[in-house]
């Protein structure tokens, strides 16, 4: 295990905030406000602070594995990690940008699967890196349930916007 490298950690944090840019570009807006939502949906103001914390945690997790993995064994965990980040980026584009809750639900299932794979592959390299992703897994599970509920409440078929 090496010492903390602030520069490399910062690059991982920046990569996560790059993934977050789709949420800044494709915002909920009037279309989202007009959707039927389940009563258990959190208030809109809760999402930004939760995601802020999660993106820092996700970036820290990736950094810890990058730091602790043997150089020749980094490729697979980092590939899964960055595929997951790409899927994270595309969810907002699909749900808010394209207004396709059904597609977004399918996409979040892929995101969730890659997150589980990330946790599993990170665990032998750095247990802390894997375990700190568990709150994100819970949040993503909740987000998937919310996405599904909104899709069904608005009776949108998979291929048509609400």
* pLDDT tens per residue, range 75-122: 999 999 999 999 999 999 999 999 999 999 999 999 999 999 999 999
Mean pLDDT of 138-147: 98
Res. 161: pLDDT tops 80: no
**Given this model, what pLDDT does residue 86 score?**
97
Res. 1: pLDDT tops 60: no
DSSP state letter for 71: G
DSSP state letter for 42: P
93: alpha, beta or left? (left if phi > 0; alpha if psi -120 to 50): alpha
Tell which wins on pLDDT, 117 or 24.
117
Measured in residues, the chain has a length of 162
**Given this model, what pLDDT does residue 155 score?**
81
pTM for this structure?
0.91
Fold of the domain spanning 6-153: Ferritin (1.20.1260)
**Given this model, what pLDDT does residue 74 score?**
95
Helix pair angle (101-122, 75-92), 10° resolution: 160
């Amino acid at each position: 295990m090496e010492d903390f490298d602030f520069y490399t950690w910062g690059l991982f944090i920046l990569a996560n905030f790059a993934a977050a840019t789709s949420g800044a570009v494709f915002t909920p807006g009037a279309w989202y406000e007009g959707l039927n939502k389940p009563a258990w949906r959190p208030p809109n103001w809760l999402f930004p602070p939760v995601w802020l914390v999660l993106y820092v945690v996700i970036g820290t997790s990736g950094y810890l594995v990058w730091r602790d993995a043997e150089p020749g064994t980094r490729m697979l965990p980092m590939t899964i990690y960055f595929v997951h980040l790409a899927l994270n980026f595309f969810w907002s584009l699909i749900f808010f940008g394209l207004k396709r809750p059904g597609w977004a639900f399918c996409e979040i299932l892929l995101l969730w699967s890659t997150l589980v794979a990330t946790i599993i592959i990170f665990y032998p390299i750095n247990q802390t890196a894997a375990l700190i992703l568990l709150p994100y897994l819970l949040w993503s599970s909740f987000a998937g349930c919310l996405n599904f509920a909104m899709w069904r409440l608005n009776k949108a078929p998979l291929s048509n916007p609400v």
